[in-house]
Protein backbone atom coordinates (compact mmCIF):
# COMPACT_ATOMS: atom_id res chain seq x y z
CA UNK A 1 0.00 0.00 0.00
CA UNK A 2 1.26 3.47 -0.86
CA UNK A 3 2.25 5.79 1.94
CA UNK A 4 0.68 9.04 0.83
CA UNK A 5 2.54 11.20 3.32
CA UNK A 6 5.86 9.96 1.95
CA UNK A 7 4.68 10.44 -1.63
CA UNK A 8 2.77 13.71 -1.39
CA UNK A 9 3.52 15.29 1.97
CA UNK A 10 4.86 18.81 1.74
CA UNK A 11 5.98 21.29 4.36
CA UNK A 12 3.49 24.18 4.24
CA UNK A 13 5.95 26.49 5.99
CA UNK A 14 8.56 25.83 3.29
CA UNK A 15 5.93 26.34 0.59
CA UNK A 16 5.08 29.82 1.87
CA UNK A 17 8.33 31.00 3.48
CA UNK A 18 10.61 29.50 0.83
CA UNK A 19 13.75 27.41 0.69
CA UNK A 20 17.21 28.49 -0.38
CA UNK A 21 18.50 27.65 -3.84
CA UNK A 22 22.30 27.83 -4.02
CA UNK A 23 23.68 28.96 -7.38
CA UNK A 24 27.16 29.62 -8.77
CA UNK A 25 29.10 32.67 -7.64
CA UNK A 26 27.64 32.69 -4.14
CA UNK A 27 24.17 33.65 -5.34
CA UNK A 28 21.36 32.32 -3.16
CA UNK A 29 17.66 32.71 -3.91
CA UNK A 30 14.94 32.01 -1.35
CA UNK A 31 12.01 30.64 -3.31
CA UNK A 32 8.51 29.83 -2.10
CA UNK A 33 6.44 27.24 -3.89
CA UNK A 34 4.59 28.35 -7.00
CA UNK A 35 0.89 28.69 -6.22
CA UNK A 36 1.48 29.02 -2.49
CA UNK A 37 -1.39 30.74 -0.69
CA UNK A 38 0.20 34.21 -0.97
CA UNK A 39 0.88 33.73 -4.67
CA UNK A 40 -2.67 32.58 -5.39
CA UNK A 41 -4.10 35.54 -3.46
CA UNK A 42 -1.89 37.96 -5.38
CA UNK A 43 -2.77 36.37 -8.72
CA UNK A 44 -6.47 36.62 -7.92
CA UNK A 45 -6.09 40.36 -7.31
CA UNK A 46 -4.36 40.76 -10.66
CA UNK A 47 -6.86 38.55 -12.45
CA UNK A 48 -9.76 40.65 -11.24
CA UNK A 49 -8.16 43.64 -12.97
CA UNK A 50 -8.25 41.69 -16.22
CA UNK A 51 -11.76 40.29 -15.79
CA UNK A 52 -13.49 42.87 -17.98
CA UNK A 53 -11.12 42.23 -20.88
CA UNK A 54 -11.66 38.48 -20.53
CA UNK A 55 -15.42 38.89 -20.59
CA UNK A 56 -15.26 40.92 -23.78
CA UNK A 57 -12.82 38.50 -25.38
CA UNK A 58 -10.00 41.02 -25.43
CA UNK A 59 -7.46 39.21 -23.29
CA UNK A 60 -4.25 41.18 -23.06
CA UNK A 61 -1.66 38.39 -22.78
CA UNK A 62 1.15 40.86 -22.10
CA UNK A 63 -0.81 42.29 -19.17
CA UNK A 64 -1.47 38.78 -17.82
CA UNK A 65 2.22 37.90 -18.16
CA UNK A 66 3.15 41.07 -16.26
CA UNK A 67 0.67 40.23 -13.49
CA UNK A 68 2.25 36.78 -13.20
CA UNK A 69 5.77 38.22 -13.11
CA UNK A 70 4.80 40.80 -10.49
CA UNK A 71 3.20 38.12 -8.36
CA UNK A 72 6.28 35.89 -8.58
CA UNK A 73 8.53 38.83 -7.66
CA UNK A 74 6.37 39.54 -4.60
CA UNK A 75 5.30 36.10 -3.34
CA UNK A 76 7.53 33.40 -4.86
CA UNK A 77 11.00 34.92 -4.84
CA UNK A 78 11.03 36.05 -1.22
CA UNK A 79 14.69 36.89 -0.58
CA UNK A 80 18.18 36.65 -1.99
CA UNK A 81 21.79 36.84 -1.00
CA UNK A 82 24.85 37.55 -3.11
CA UNK A 83 23.42 39.96 -5.68
CA UNK A 84 25.60 43.02 -6.22
CA UNK A 85 25.31 46.02 -8.50
CA UNK A 86 28.02 47.07 -10.96
CA UNK A 87 29.89 48.83 -8.12
CA UNK A 88 29.95 45.64 -5.99
CA UNK A 89 27.35 47.06 -3.59
CA UNK A 90 24.94 44.42 -2.26
CA UNK A 91 21.44 44.74 -3.70
CA UNK A 92 18.75 44.40 -1.04
CA UNK A 93 15.76 42.24 -1.99
CA UNK A 94 12.48 43.98 -2.71
CA UNK A 95 9.62 42.90 -4.97
CA UNK A 96 10.19 45.99 -7.10
CA UNK A 97 13.88 45.19 -7.59
CA UNK A 98 13.07 41.54 -8.26
CA UNK A 99 10.59 42.56 -10.97
CA UNK A 100 13.18 44.84 -12.56
CA UNK A 101 15.75 42.02 -12.57
CA UNK A 102 13.19 39.53 -13.95
CA UNK A 103 12.55 41.87 -16.87
CA UNK A 104 16.26 42.35 -17.51
CA UNK A 105 17.34 38.74 -16.92
CA UNK A 106 14.60 36.44 -18.20
CA UNK A 107 16.57 33.32 -17.27
CA UNK A 108 16.61 34.47 -13.64
CA UNK A 109 12.81 34.55 -13.82
CA UNK A 110 12.71 31.13 -15.49
CA UNK A 111 15.08 29.68 -12.86
CA UNK A 112 12.76 30.85 -10.09
CA UNK A 113 9.71 29.42 -11.87
CA UNK A 114 11.30 26.02 -12.50
CA UNK A 115 12.51 25.67 -8.91
CA UNK A 116 9.19 26.89 -7.46
CA UNK A 117 7.20 24.36 -9.48
CA UNK A 118 9.30 21.36 -8.38
CA UNK A 119 7.36 19.74 -5.53
CA UNK A 120 10.47 17.86 -4.38
CA UNK A 121 11.91 21.15 -3.11
CA UNK A 122 9.09 21.40 -0.55
CA UNK A 123 8.64 17.75 0.44
CA UNK A 124 8.54 16.73 4.07
CA UNK A 125 11.88 15.37 5.22
CA UNK A 126 12.22 12.55 7.73
CA UNK A 127 13.04 15.09 10.46
CA UNK A 128 9.98 17.17 9.42
CA UNK A 129 7.75 14.15 10.11
CA UNK A 130 9.05 13.74 13.64
CA UNK A 131 11.15 10.66 12.83
pLDDT, tens digit, for every residue of 64-73? 888 899 999 9
State the pLDDT confidence band at 131, using cuts at 50, 70 and 90: very low
pLDDT in tens, 97-113: 999 999 999 999 999 99
State the pLDDT confidence band at 33, using cuts at 50, 70 and 90: very high
Cα torsion angle, 10, 13, 129, 118, sign: positive
User: What SS3 class is residue 9?
Assistant: coil
pTM of the model: 0.84
State the pLDDT confidence band at 61, using cuts at 50, 70 and 90: confident
Amino acid sequence: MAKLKAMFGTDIEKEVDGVWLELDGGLRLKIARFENTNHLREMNKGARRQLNSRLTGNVDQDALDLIQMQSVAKTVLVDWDGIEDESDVPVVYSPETALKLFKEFRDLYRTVLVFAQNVDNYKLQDDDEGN
